[in-house]
Chains A and B, each alone.
Chain A
Amino acid sequence: MSYLIKSAQYILEGGAVTLKLFFITLAFSLPLGFVCAMAKTSRIRAVRIVMELYTSIVRGTPLLLQIFFVYYGLPILLPGLRLERFSAAALTFVLNYGAYFTEIFRGGIQSIDRGQYEASRVLGMSYVQTMTRIVLPQTIKRVLPPVANEAITLVKDTALVVVLGIGDILRNSKEIVSRDFTIVPFVIAAGVYLLMNYGVVLFFKKLEQRYSVYE
């Protein structure tokens, strides 16, 4: 019994790392996605092209490759730019999820009826006021389901950081498995991931309920 608790404790320590990566990624990639989505619908062509490059490269290549690139590749490309393991992972995740959120938000923004912009305009609202007061709040409601999906995927994707030897849930369980030759730690790890995703699902369900007062 105490063996189980000890294992669980060690795996949960990894859970702290996983959670930290999860929240850092969301905290930065969501705003990044919003800004890039606005840039992607910008009237300036050069801005749109840069954004197109960003999203197609990031979404068209494996996340694992991107992690290797940032951690091992960047220092070769730019000597002196050696990121610490967790920072490298976090930066990669932010850029990667930022690209997916860019596409989701762009679709959301473009689905808002032109009449909303015109109604804002005739009230004398500026572009920034129109976006922050009228367009983005309506966009949030529409993008909640795909954003929830991304958040669930993110919980699972965090396991990729084992390749940098970061002590997350997966790595810590794997350590015990190799040492003691038992699969119990894997079962515990699966349970922890499931529990985290259960939390994510609940959170978004609550949020969707809050937004369901209209339309």
Chain B
Amino acid sequence: MSETTDREMIRVEGLCKSYGSLEVLKEVDLSVKKGEIISIIGPSGSGKSTFLRSLIHLEEASAGSILIEGEAVRRADNKSVPDAKIRQHCRKLGMVFQNFNLFPHKTALGNVMEGPVTVLKKSRADAEREARALLDKVGLAGQAMQYPCTLSGGQKQRVAIARALAMEPDIMLFDEPTSALDPELIGEVLAVIKALAEEHMTMLVVTHEMGFAREVSDQVIFMDEGRILEMAPPDKIFTSPDHPRIRTFLDKMI
């Protein structure tokens, strides 16, 4: 459990997203406070990824509003926000993908340095010092000069986490960070995320790891057919959810 303050980091209201006639998100509302750790669970195709991706503007929502630390990156009145502004505000969010998406032509160190050097315009020396410290933090100090193709899945995902952290985000988004990993490698990645939780990083984690969700989250969101069916502390969701649908889902998971 982490300490949360009342500062609102993300505010989403009436968020909708359609692909053609397929409505993937239907009027989603959410408020995330500083330091809060929220897990998002739910059946495949329920819109979990689409929701995270809309927050960081990898998907353009069809309606609703998104505020990141009070700044609009999507307006309820559908007036467009300039792309430079969106990129600036979305920089407060870091994202980790299921498939890592590391840059194959750069070493682990190069991957972590890329954002600070190219976007934040840091000097290579500063960026390298910080990147090495981050790689050390995720337990990969010895792999700094290795290319992604020589790393295991768990190592790749830890580099990806370090790469996101190098941008000094206030909020971290994880989309099934362990789903592409061999079972024996899941633990090392979850340990890194737990360490972030202990530092009170604000986090949204889409996951199928129920034990992890139960252990670290302040709130668990159950998504179903594009809606937040229930949002509650883990004890409530995992022991006495309001909706029978959640019970059925959890029984199938175990």
List residues of A whose CB falls within 8 A of some B CB: 113, 115-116, 118-119, 121-126, 129, 133-134, 137-138, 141, 213-215
Contacting pair B149 A116 (CB below 8 A): no
The answer to whether B56 has its CB under 8 Å from any CB of chain A is yes
Q: A119-B102, A123-B115, A124-B115 are in contact. List 8 more A-B contacts (CB 8 A).
A: A122-B58, A122-B93, A122-B94, A122-B95, A122-B164, A124-B87, A214-B148, A215-B147
Chain A: interface secondary structure?
A: helix
The answer to whether B90 has its CB under 8 Å from any CB of chain A is yes
Contacting pair B119 A134 (CB below 8 A): no
**0 or 1 for each of B73-90: is its CB under 8 Å from A? (1 = yes):** 000000000000001101
Of all chain A residues, which has the CB nearest B57? A121
**CB contact under 8 A between A115 and B149, given known A122-B56, A124-B167:** no
Q: Which of A121, A123, A125, A213 contacts B147 (CB 8 A)?
A: A213
Q: Which of A126, A134, A214 contacts B87 (CB 8 A)?
A: A126
Q: Which of B102, B105, B115 contacts A137 (CB 8 A)?
A: B105
Q: Which of A119, A126, A215 contacts B97 (CB 8 A)?
A: A119
The answer to whether B33 has its CB under 8 Å from any CB of chain A is no
Of all chain B residues, which has the CB nearest A121? B58
Chain B residue contacts of A116, Cβ below 8 A: 101, 103
Contacting pair A133 B147 (CB below 8 A): no
Contacting pair B101 A124 (CB below 8 A): no
**CB contact under 8 A between A115 and B97, given known A123-B163, A213-B147, A215-B104:** yes
Report the number of A-B residue pairs with Cβ-Cβ less than 8 Å: 63
How far is B149's CA from A215's CA once the two chains are assembled, in angstroms?
Answer: 5
Which residues 25-62 of B have a CB within 8 angstroms of A? 56-58
Contacting pair B119 A124 (CB below 8 A): yes
The 3 closest A-B pairs by CB, nearest first: A115-B101, A123-B115, A119-B101
How far is B104's CA from A137's CA once the two chains are assembled, in angstroms?
Answer: 10
The answer to whether B91 has its CB under 8 Å from any CB of chain A is yes
Chain A residue contacts of B4, Cβ below 8 A: none
Chain A residue contacts of B99, Cβ below 8 A: 115
How far is B118's CA from A122's CA once the two chains are assembled, in angstroms?
Answer: 13
List residues of B whose CB falls within 8 A of some A CB: 56-58, 87-88, 90-91, 93-95, 97, 99, 101-105, 114-115, 118-119, 147-149, 163-164, 167
Chain A residue contacts of B101, Cβ below 8 A: 113, 115-116, 118-119
Contacting pair A141 B164 (CB below 8 A): no
Chain A residue contacts of B87, Cβ below 8 A: 121, 124, 126
Chain A residue contacts of B88, Cβ below 8 A: 124
9 contacts between A and B (CB under 8 A): A113-B101, A119-B97, A121-B57, A122-B93, A122-B164, A123-B119, A124-B115, A129-B119, A138-B105
How far is B119's CA from A116's CA once the two chains are assembled, in angstroms?
Answer: 16
**CB contact under 8 A between A123 and B104, given known A129-B119, A133-B114, A214-B147:** no
**Residue among B87, B90, B118 having the largest count of chain A Cβ atoms under 10 Å:** B118
Chain B residue contacts of A126, Cβ below 8 A: 87
**Residue among A116, A124, A214 having the largest count of chain B Cβ atoms under 10 Å:** A124
Chain A residue contacts of B105, Cβ below 8 A: 137-138, 141, 214-215
B101 to chain A, nearest CB (A): 4
A134 to chain B, nearest CB (A): 6
Contacting pair B103 A134 (CB below 8 A): yes
How far is B164's CA from A137's CA once the two chains are assembled, in angstroms?
Answer: 21
A137 to chain B, nearest CB (A): 5
Chain A residue contacts of B90, Cβ below 8 A: 122, 124
Of all chain B residues, which has the CB nearest A127? B83
B49 to chain A, nearest CB (A): 11
**CB contact under 8 A between A123 and B149, given known A116-B101, A215-B104:** no
Contacting pair A214 B149 (CB below 8 A): yes
